[in-house]
């Protein structure tokens, strides 16, 4: 039985439940596997599933710690040529992006320390989550130790920072991505033989947790609208508040919970006061998944998430990313945007038969087909959001039809128990036979896209 080292930048986090659930199931299958986190968790609120996995997590010391520096000294003494060759390889392939080079150089001692740990363990494969620095560490460890590695790309990570992506794909045993939209981007610059390694595997959710029977009639007469996400700019909450102000002007009765925490809280609180929505909107902060189901999904009549594509501009204040991070993204010559993949909260709400409204951007149309299993609005368009919310508030039959259709969609394509079986097949096939056949990969990715749009 193979044993896998899962590399994470920070584990666990409140918002990455999809990663924790996936790793938990893989560890149960590949017994003896472990998680290696480059940093300790910083979220104060954590889900039960994630907390349980912390027992199987090794938190690596910082690159400048005595432990790391001693590991690097041993590597340099025992294998000087290999050590220097790997370091020069990373520096050469990040030279076009000086900021990325500096960060990679800083991470290298941590990677060498992990390489020493894995060399003296029974781990025989590495899998990194997120294509950025966790996969950089996986690549370095692989070249130091000879262990095979693979990685999962999430959301827009490859399109935000393109530096080193081609090398990572070239040397990986296989690559997973969670959307067809992400696959389209890498097609624009990777050679065909490297694309053969990339498979689309939707994360899905644990649908046993999100069941329609957990919903209950709420005591109030006015419809309850729920939204949930980190309070970041790309989530589009200012446009939702503007749409809610339009509903109020039209004398529509409603109440909206915007659940989550993040850097836009001061702006959103100010907008609530300015738009005089204190009696219609609450921002309860971050909650656990259990609380989200019980207190918010359970009473929701409508779920809305007005995501937007956020362009990265160096001279514009960005509460999500610092200017150095934006400069690093610009130097990588990627798309220059921040965007979501398929937000898990949309899958969760649809699983509970809550009629769902979101934006027609990025990978969201891979989940929601307008007026078939949910509603889509143009991004940054409060009038369109208000129009769709009005329809959902006033038409109970529309809510029921979309809720039921959304439930069917997620059970067909976004059931974690089904998708994890495919994921296990990918891991097992690759361990036994190496990279998956190019024709099989292309056929699978094409089938995913066709099924989603024709079902």
Q: Would you state the pLDDT for residue 442?
A: 52
Residue-wise pLDDT for 111-124, tens only, equals 999 999 999 999 99
Check residue 332 and give its pLDDT: 86
| Token output for 148 | 């095979």
Residues 6+ apart with CB under 8 A from 366: 179, 180, 181, 342, 449, 452
Supply the DSSP string of 159-222, one letter for each residue. Answer: HH--TTHHHHHHHSS-EEES-HHHHHHHHTTS-HHHHTTEEE----B-TTTS-GGG----SSSS
The residues pairing with 151 across neighbouring beta strands, listed in sequence order, are 128, 175
Which residue from 391, 306, 300 is spatially nearest to 353, judged by alpha carbons? 300
Q: pLDDT for 207-228, tens place per residue?
A: 999 999 999 988 778 999 999 9
CATH match of 4-204+416-454 with 3.30.429.10: no
pTM of the complete model beyond 0.95: no
**CATH classification (class only), 212-307+343-413:** alpha beta
Taking a C-beta distance cutoff of 8 angstroms, is the pair 5, 127 a contact? yes
How much is the pLDDT for 118?
Answer: 97
Topology agreement, domain 4-204+416-454 and domain 212-307+343-413: yes
Tokens of 56: 């199987």
Residue 59 sits at φ, ψ, to 5 deg, of -95, 115
Per-residue confidence (pLDDT) for residue 318, from 0 to 100? 52
**Per-residue model confidence (pLDDT) at position 328:** 87
Report the pLDDT value the prediction gives residue 455, as an integer from 0 to 100: 45
Asked whether the CA dihedral 59, 64, 70, 71 is positive or negative, the reply is: positive
Query: Is 113:61 a contact under the CB 8 Å cutoff?
Result: yes
- Quickly tell me which residue has 């909107």 as its tokens: 281
pLDDT tens digits in sequence order for the chain, 455 residues long = 789 999 999 998 877 777 888 898 899 999 999 999 999 988 777 767 778 889 889 999 999 999 999 999 999 999 999 999 999 999 999 999 999 999 999 999 999 999 999 999 999 999 999 999 999 999 999 999 999 999 999 877 888 889 999 999 999 999 999 999 988 888 888 888 888 899 999 988 999 999 999 999 887 789 999 999 999 999 999 999 999 999 999 999 999 999 999 999 999 999 999 999 999 999 999 999 999 999 999 999 999 999 999 887 766 655 566 778 888 888 888 787 889 999 999 999 999 999 999 999 999 999 999 999 999 999 999 999 999 999 999 999 999 999 999 999 999 999 988 998 899 999 988 887 666 554 554 544 554 445 444 54
Task: Tell me the H-state helices in 34-97.
Answer: 48-53, 66-78, 80-94
Q: In the prediction, which pLDDT does 451 show?
A: 47
What pLDDT, on a 0 to 100 scale, did the predictor assign at position 35?
A: 96
Whether the Cβ atoms of residue 393 and residue 442 lie closer than 8 Å to each other: no
Domain boundaries, the chain: 4-204+416-454, 212-307+343-413
C-alpha torsion angle, residues 107, 109, 110, 113 (rounded to 10): 160
CB contact set of 424 (below 8 Å; sequence gap of 6+)? 26, 29
């Amino acid at each position: 039985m193979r044993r896998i080292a899962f590399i994470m930048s920070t584990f666990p986090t409140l918002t990455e439940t999809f990663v924790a659930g996936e790793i938990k199931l893989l560890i149960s299958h590949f017994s003896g596997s472990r998680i290696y986190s480059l940093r300790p968790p910083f979220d104060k609120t954590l889900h039960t599933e994630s907390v349980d996995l912390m027992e199987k997590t090794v938190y690596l010391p910082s690159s400048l710690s005595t432990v790391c520096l001693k590991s690097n000294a041993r590597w340099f003494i025992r294998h000087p040529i290999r050590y220097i060759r790997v370091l020069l390889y990373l520096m050469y392939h990040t030279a076009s992006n000086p900021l990325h080079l500096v960060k990679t150089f800083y991470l290298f001692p941590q990677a060498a320390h992990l390489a020493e740990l894995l060399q003296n363990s029974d781990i025989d494969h590495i899998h990194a989550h997120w294509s950025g620095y966790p996969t950089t560490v996986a690549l370095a460890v692989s070249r130091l130790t000879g262990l095979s590695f693979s990685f999962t790309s999430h959301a827009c990570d490859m399109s935000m920072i393109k530096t080193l992506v081609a090398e990572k794909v070239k040397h990986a045993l296989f690559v997973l991505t969670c959307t067809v939209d992400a696959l389209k981007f890498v097609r624009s610059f990777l050679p065909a033989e490297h694309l053969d390694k990339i498979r689309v595997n939707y994360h899905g959710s644990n649908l046993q947790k999100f069941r329609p029977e957990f919903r209950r009639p709420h005591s109030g007469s006015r419809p309850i609208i729920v939204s949930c996400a980190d309070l970041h700019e790309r989530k589009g909450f200012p446009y939702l508040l503007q749409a809610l102000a339009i509903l109020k002007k039209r004398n529509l009765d409603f109440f909206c919970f915007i659940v989550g925490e993040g850097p836009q809280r001061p702006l959103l609180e100010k907008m609530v006061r300015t738009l005089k929505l204190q009696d219609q909107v609450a921002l309860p902060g971050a909650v656990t998944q259990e609380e989200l189901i019980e207190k918010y999904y359970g009473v929701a009549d409508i779920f809305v998430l007005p995501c937007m594509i956020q362009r990265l501009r160096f001279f514009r204040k960005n509460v999500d990313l610092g200017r150095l991070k934006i400069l690093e993204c610009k130097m990588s010559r990627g798309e220059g945007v921040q965007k979501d993949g398929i937000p898990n909260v949309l899958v969760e709400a649809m699983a509970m038969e809550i009629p769902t409204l979101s934006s027609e951007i990025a990978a969201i149309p891979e989940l929601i087909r307008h007026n078939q299993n949910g509603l889509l609005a143009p991004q940054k368009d409060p009038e369109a959001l208000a129009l769709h919310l009005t329809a959902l508030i006033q038409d109970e039959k529309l809510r029921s039809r979309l809720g039921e259709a959304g439930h069917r969609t997620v059970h067909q394509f976004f059931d974690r128990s089904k998708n994890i079986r495919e994921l296990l097949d990918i891991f097992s096939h690759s361990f036994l036979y190496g990279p998956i056949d190019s024709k099989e990969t292309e056929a699978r990715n094409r089938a995913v896209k066709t099924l989603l749009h024709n079902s």
